[in-house]
Amino acid sequence: MRARLGFAFSSSIRPDILVVDEALSVGDRKFSRKCKERVHKIMAEEDVTVLFVTHSTAMAKEFCTQGIVIRKGHAEFSGEIEEGCPITRRCNKRNDAYMRYHREDPDSVLIIVGGHGNDYQKIYERVHELDDLRIILIRNLSNPLNIVAKSDVFVLSSSYEGLPMSIMEALILHKPVVSTSITGPKEFLEQGYGYLVDDSEEGLYEGMCAYKQGLLDSLKPFDAEKFNEKVLREFENLIE
């Protein structure tokens, strides 16, 4: 309620500088949409400088031409917004890639299975800001396999991993896998089991489009039993 009142008051007067500090990440989606419309109207019709504070690269690109990236109280970048966005936190790339893909496939839905990590709250805020998209964020799910089983494609957007069991679980459920080409998943999926992409927004967007274009249909089937037998043999050879 405080955020709503604050935004309503600030946007109803004519300040020289309007500071929008995470105002679009609070309240419900209807409120967020109204805030976005009001900010666009102010920028288009009034002689006001807007200082937009956000964690979302998508929102920054929508409203701003110039930007400053701040980390731990220090400015890491100042300049054109398109140059500054890649410096922001890694979890933006998945949402921004999906935002681009959603324009081509409006019926698509992105389901993010979250957890207890430090980035969860920021991911939640960014998802909430992208109110025009169909994004579902799920937390505290002990067994996500039912969701994976009903999905069309599994996308791993991590910037660093070991060899995640989630990839193998998706393959066992006969789901095509798109993954960033990072150590761990790369060594396993490059055997033909998955589609590897660059660890970037562009790479993930390419992977999503590859699924839509049918390029994942030729991926090699994964035989879990043979894989387990191979791993056991290698382990036994090590201890002999």
* 102 and 219 together in one domain: yes
Under the banding of pLDDT at 50, 70 and 90, the label for residue 191 is very high
Quick one: pLDDT band at residue 119, thresholds 50, 70, 90? Answer: low
CA–CA separation, 60 and 85 (whole Å):
8
Selection from 152, 156, 168 nearest residue 211 by Cα: 152
Residues 55-83: pLDDT tens digits? 666 677 788 888 888 766 778 788 888 77
Candidates 195, 113, 95, 115; CA nearest to 149 is 113
Same domain membership, residue 145 and residue 44: no
> What does the buried/exposed string (b/e) look like for 36-75 if buried means 16 or more CB atoms within 10 Å of the residue's CB?
bebbeebeeeeeeebebebbbbbbbbbbbeebebeeeeee
211 in any annotated domain: yes
pLDDT digits (tens, 9 = 90+) for 123-149: 767 666 666 678 888 876 778 889 999
Average pLDDT over residues 187-209: 93
Asked whether residue 101 carries a pLDDT value surpassing 60, the answer given is yes
Domain count of the fold of the chain = 2
Contact call for residues 126 and 55 (beta carbons, < 8 A):
yes
d(CA 48, CA 133): 29
Q: Are residues 214 and 109 in the same domain?
A: yes
Q: Which of 6-10, 50-54, 219-223 has the lowest mean pLDDT?
A: 6-10
User: 36, 4 in Cβ contact below 8 A?
Assistant: no
Q: Name the phi and psi angles at 163, rounded to 5.
A: -115, 95
Domain boundary among 87, 109, 138: 87
Range of the domain at 23: 2-87
Q: Are 162 and 143 in contact (CB under 8 A)?
A: no
Predicted confidence band of residue 91 (pLDDT cuts 50, 70, 90): low
pLDDT at 240 over 80: no
Higher pLDDT, 84 or 72: 84
Please write the tens of the pLDDT for every residue from 211-237: 999 999 999 999 988 888 887 888 788
Residues 206 and 137 in one domain: yes
* pLDDT band for position 40 (cuts 50, 70, 90): confident
Domain CATH number, residue 12? 3.40.50.300
Same domain, 108 and 157: yes
Residue 68, classed as helix, strand or coil, is strand
Q: Return the number of other C-beta atoms located less than 10 Å from residue 108's C-beta.
A: 16
Residue 231 lies in a domain: no
- Cβ contact 163:184 at 8 Å: yes
108 and 152, same domain (yes or no): yes
Q: Which of 87, 107, 139 is the last residue of a domain?
A: 87
